[in-house]
Amino acid sequence: MELQKDSGIVLRKIPILEADIAATIYTNSHGKRTLLFKGLKKTKRRSLTAVEPGSVTHVVYYYNEQKTMYNVKEYSLLYDTISIRNNYQAMITLFLFLEIVEKTTGHNDPNQTLFRLLKGAIETLTKTSQYQILILSFILHYLKITGIYPDVFHCTVCHKEITSDLYLSEFSLHPYCDACAPNYSFQFLAIVPIIKDIMTNKFLSLESKHYPLPEINKFIFHLLLFIDSYFTIHINSKELIFNNSIK
Ligand SMILES: [Zn+2]
């Protein structure tokens, strides 16, 4: 048994015994881990905030190779999500980020770039109202970090660089140009410059007010269906996002 100190982002809270709470936490140094907070429900409200999904928490816990859940010795809240929770759109966006990381990462498989991406996205939720653009930015960076998606596109068939409209077939991210696109593919109008813009600029400096939202939403939905199919999972929060955002 070894005492470990780390900061982590709470992905999911798992109520177990009456007084205890377990939480799946994406830690900076060791990736996803399940930690057990004993007797937590008897404590003060402030302490409970530390295990709310989205909270960034500093934890000291007993690591034991033989176990799948580790007892927490002490913890302190570094960043809370209270202001996010007061805003429904921000909250469901947060749930989407957490669910993607929770369902697509393995235990004990650290990725500090992914940790920073998730932490940065949570912090940005309080600084923007452009939630759809933030979702697109998060997913694109996430796909790049995990090595799934490039930020420069070349047609799958003729290898010509694609600079404006993008064509993709269902559950796939293989790009086609206008000339080679099969007739069952989906068209995303002028999306490539937006993708390049997002991948090369800081989120808060993007001139995203000019982006065509219906096209962005269509593209986000395509990316989420791709993630579902690629990882054989089901991202539940996309239903929340798409019941609310398409206006
Ligand atoms: Zn082509």
Which fold is adopted by the domain 83-245? de novo design (two linked rop proteins) (1.20.1440)
CATH assignment of 2-80, among 1.10.3720.10, 3.20.20.70, 2.40.50.140, 3.30.70.260: 2.40.50.140
- C-alpha 47: how far from its chain's center? 25
- Reading the block at residue 128, the tokens are 């923007």
Question: Is the distance from CB of 181 to CB of 160 less than 8 angstroms?
Answer: no
DSSP string, 48-109: HHTTSTT-EEEEEEEE-TT-SEEEEEEEEEEE--HHHHTSHHHHHHHHHHHHHHHHH--BT-
Q: What is the distance in A from the centroid of ligand 1 to the CA of 159? A: 6
Here the tokens at position 218 are 């269509």
Going by the DSSP 8-state scheme, the letter that residue 209 receives in this structure is G
> Distance, CA 162 to ligand 1 centroid (Å)?
8
pLDDT of residue 45: 65
pLDDT of residue 247: 46
Domain boundaries, the chain: 2-80, 83-245
Q: Which residues are paired to 176 by β-bridges?
A: 167
pLDDT in tens, the chain (247 residues): 899 999 999 999 987 877 889 999 999 999 999 999 988 767 666 678 889 999 999 999 999 999 999 999 999 999 999 999 999 999 999 999 999 999 999 999 999 999 999 999 999 999 999 999 999 999 999 999 998 987 789 999 999 999 999 999 999 999 999 999 999 999 999 999 999 999 999 999 999 888 999 999 999 999 999 999 999 999 999 999 988 654 4
Q: What is the pLDDT of residue 78?
A: 95
User: Per the structure block, which two tokens stand in for 96?
Assistant: 């989407």
Going by C-alpha positions, the residue among 124, 98, 138 that lies closest to residue 235 is: 98
Query: How remote is the CA of residue 161 from the centroid of ligand 1, in Å?
Result: 8
CA of 168 to the centre of ligand 1 (A): 12
Give the pLDDT of residue 46.
63
Contact residues for 153 (Cβ-Cβ < 8 A; gap 6+): 161, 162, 166, 175, 192, 195
Report the separation in Å between the CA atom of 167 and the middle of ligand 1, taken as the mean of its atom positions: 10
Separation of CA 71 and ligand 1 centre (Å): 55
Q: What is the pTM of this model?
A: 0.94
